[in-house]
Structure 1
Amino acid sequence: MVFVGMDHGTTGISFGIMAADGKPIESFKIGREDSKSGKVSAIEELSKRVNLDDIKLMAITYGMGDGINSILPITKVKNRGILSIEGAGRITGGGTSVYSEIEKSKIPTFVIPGLHKNSPSLDPLFKAAYSHQASSEKVSICYNAYLTTNWNNMIIADISSNSVNILIENGKIRGAMDACVGAMGIVHGPIDLEMIRNIDENKITANEAFSTAGAVKIANINTKVSFMKDILLSAYKEGNPKAKLAIDTMIFTVAMEIIGLIGISKNKIEGIVLTGSIGSIEDPFNFKSELNKYLKNKFEMVILPSTSGAFGSAQIAKDIYNKKDNILGIDIEP
């Protein structure tokens, strides 16, 4: 008996395989381009690692997840649980191919929603301010953080291609800030006045602006999303001043956002969880140490690996199978 989770990320689709006792067995990642082109089959890759008949339940994420408000069986989900793919960052179609494969596989599967204006668990003020707050894999990351730390009040900072900081209070997700309105990630970031003018003058679309507004904007990097992080980190390692400014600025914006969430929390924050390909990084710079220059070591910090989304989804699958009816304030519908 095993449980499987899927994290639909910006650069690829990750899977986590977990034993019935909750211990991780294995994780793997499929590049978006490989999936779209048909070079790699998600189900075939999964079958190489586990007997598909042994999968009791799978929980997956897809895109912004703004078309659903609760965790649902895939058979009840329309349009893959999203309102639209427009304005969602770089689009390759790789995630769509994987979703379709899973749907056809008949493996018992649930779909996890994102955080948006119709999410019941969120603070009404967050819902009034922002139509969209976080894609669905952030729910999985939050659950992995919740089970790992046992904290009921915390900030989760998922920093990678995108940057999302999430507030959990009393064991429920209460609000989040997505990169389009807040802190920068490597690729995505907030759309500022200059970008608004460029959009109005038809020099760039809003989605193109969002997809180039992260640290890469400062470092003048414009290539495929899957290469951006490595190019930026290599330039930083070589002492490139633009790359250093880009990284420093990204950390600065993340710190501002975390401090803001701490400030509006109604409860004392027990700690901060760092994850994502940048949030968990130690070389060529230590993200935790750099962030602490702003937070001044006032909060305990726990680092989770970048597989936290995939295994968080698997943990959700396990608890659905064991008849849990709620995940961090999000209802599970049978």
Structure 2
Amino acid sequence: MYVGIDHSTTGIKVAAIGDDGELTTAFRIDRRNVETAGAFLEVLDDRIGLSRVSLATVTYAFGNAIDEIEGIEDVPNRGTTDLVGLDYGTGAGATVFDRLYDSAVPTVVLPGVHRGLDTLHAFFRHYSALAGADKVASMRYALERFRAEFDASGAFIWVCASSSCMAGLVCGGRLTGFFHWVGPVHGWPDPEAVRRGVESDFEDVFMRCGLLPRRGADLTDVHDIADRDLLQSVYWSTLMNVYALYPFARDLGADGLDAVVLSGRLMRRERPFPLGRRVYEACVDLAPVRFAEPYTSAQGAALVARDVAAGADEVLGIPVGDVPGGRDR
């Protein structure tokens, strides 16, 4: 059995798949339970059985200290260069990572999207980091789920509307581009945010630049956004990411797009604003639009574990290092 583990704003998401890649279980653990009790391995053993895990993949933060998929025991600082601006150095994600590190569960760590990935178009290496490893895992899910619709040189855009609004471009099975500007919780700093950071600290600067904090709302409001205007802003942010990536597909040799894959819990919202339906209508002229199911990041991480165990040299163009559980390396 292969397991994927992702920490998100709403909780720790876990998915398990068999050798055939079929999902056997997926569930979410409340972040607070992990942070206070650290009971992650106990829950995993109860729900799945630790002895049944052939290989697990964990995602953590930006994942910008590694350029390859590596064994957890070889990853420094949980795979991050630093946590400036992220404000979860001691949260549930860190707890899960450390529990896995100290356990006997064979585990690999997935890089995030950052300038060190050779697979990226040169334009996207301007920023030192663009997104966490969970987004890479989600794109691996999209490639698997809709593989029948892509030819070997095809291209698709995966787009997420959740705590963040992000989109990634995959061409010929390789991660080649990524955009992230602003979402409900996270956003890139502007001069005002930099000034405030200098005056106080940078620990949570990215958490202060999203749509919710800029409106003075509590970040817990992300669990049930009822503001129609805010959801419309999420819609525009989502479209900006998709349409900004589209020209790169042609520049990289793709003959148009094979699909646009919509992901994230806000894509499933109908009230007070039908976000997913509106994005569908705006993108359907670019390519066939497909909706992803829940737990895509955890499922994608589980698929990465299966890839590694099968002896894959790369996943989405990201090299696989010398890791435990990999065969024929």
* Correspondence for 1:159 among 158, 161, 166: 161
Note if contact 1:187-1:212 (Cα within 8 Å) is conserved in structure 2.
Answer: yes
Rate the CA distance shift 1:52–1:161 in 2: closer, same or farther, 3 A.
same
Rate the CA distance shift 1:23–1:219 in 2: closer, same or farther, 3 A.
same
- Give runs of aligned pairs for residues 287-326 of structure 1, distance below 5 A: 287-295=275-283, 297-326=285-314
Rate the CA distance shift 1:116–1:295 in 2: closer, same or farther, 3 A.
same
Match of 1:70 in 2: 68
Matched, 1:255 2:248: no
Query: Quick one: distance in 1 between partners of 2:305 and 2:115?
Result: 25
Note if contact 2:10-2:223 (Cα within 8 Å) is conserved in structure 1.
Answer: no
Q: CA deviation at 1:90?
A: 5.3
Using structure 1 for the length normalisation, give the TM-score.
0.87
Letter matched to residue 215 of structure 1:
L
Letter matched to residue 250 of structure 1:
V
Q: CA deviation at 1:170?
A: 1.5
Q: Name the stretch that deviates more: 60-69 or 293-302.
A: 293-302
- Give runs of aligned pairs for residues 14-25 of structure 1, distance below 5 A: 14-25=13-24
Q: Deviations over 1:90-131 (max 9, x none)?
A: 55521111111111221111111111111121112211x211
Note if contact 1:69-1:113 (Cα within 8 Å) is conserved in structure 2.
Answer: yes
CA RMSD of aligned residues (A): 2.0
Query: Quick one: distance in 1 between partners of 2:159 and 2:92?
Result: 25
Matched, 1:130 2:127: yes
Q: CA deviation at 1:323?
A: 1.1
Note if contact 1:70-1:331 (Cα within 8 Å) is conserved in structure 2.
Answer: yes
Match of 1:220 in 2: 216
Letter matched to residue 229 of structure 1:
V
Q: CA deviation at 1:207?
A: 5.0
Note if contact 1:70-1:330 (Cα within 8 Å) is conserved in structure 2.
Answer: yes
Note if contact 1:64-1:136 (Cα within 8 Å) is conserved in structure 2.
Answer: yes
Query: Quick one: distance in 2 between partners of 1:171 and 1:44?
Result: 36
Note if contact 2:15-2:295 (Cα within 8 Å) is conserved in structure 1.
Answer: yes
Q: CA deviation at 1:135?
A: 0.5
Note if contact 1:160-1:276 (Cα within 8 Å) is conserved in structure 2.
Answer: yes
Q: Name the stretch that deviates more: 187-196 or 307-316.
A: 187-196
Match of 2:143 in 1: 146
Match of 1:272 in 2: 260
Query: Quick one: distance in 2 between partners of 1:89 and 1:175?
Result: 26
Query: Quick one: distance in 2 between partners of 1:64 and 1:293?
Result: 32
Note if contact 1:140-1:309 (Cα within 8 Å) is conserved in structure 2.
Answer: yes
Q: Which runs of 5+ in 2 are unaligned?
A: 323-329
Query: Quick one: distance in 1 between partners of 2:223 and 2:64?
Result: 30
Note if contact 1:89-1:188 (Cα within 8 Å) is conserved in structure 2.
Answer: no
Q: Kindly, what percent of the aligned residue pairs are identical?
A: 26
Matched, 1:229 2:235: no
Match of 2:206 in 1: 210
User: Aligned to 1:4, what secondary structure does the other structure show?
Assistant: strand
* Correspondence for 2:190 among 185, 192, 200: 192
Q: CA deviation at 1:288?
A: 2.3
Rate the CA distance shift 1:100–1:230 in 2: closer, same or farther, 3 A.
closer
Rate the CA distance shift 1:17–1:217 in 2: closer, same or farther, 3 A.
same
Note if contact 1:57-1:108 (Cα within 8 Å) is conserved in structure 2.
Answer: yes
Match of 1:240 in 2: none
Query: Quick one: distance in 2 between partners of 1:113 and 1:312?
Result: 13
Letter matched to residue 59 of structure 1:
T
Q: CA deviation at 1:321?
A: 1.0
Query: Quick one: distance in 1 between partners of 2:136 and 2:68?
Result: 11
Match of 1:244 in 2: 228
- Give runs of aligned pairs for residues 20-169 of structure 1, distance below 5 A: 20-38=19-37, 41-89=39-87, 93-127=91-125, 129-150=126-147, 151=150, 152-169=154-171
Letter matched to residue 136 of structure 2:
V
Q: CA deviation at 1:7?
A: 1.1
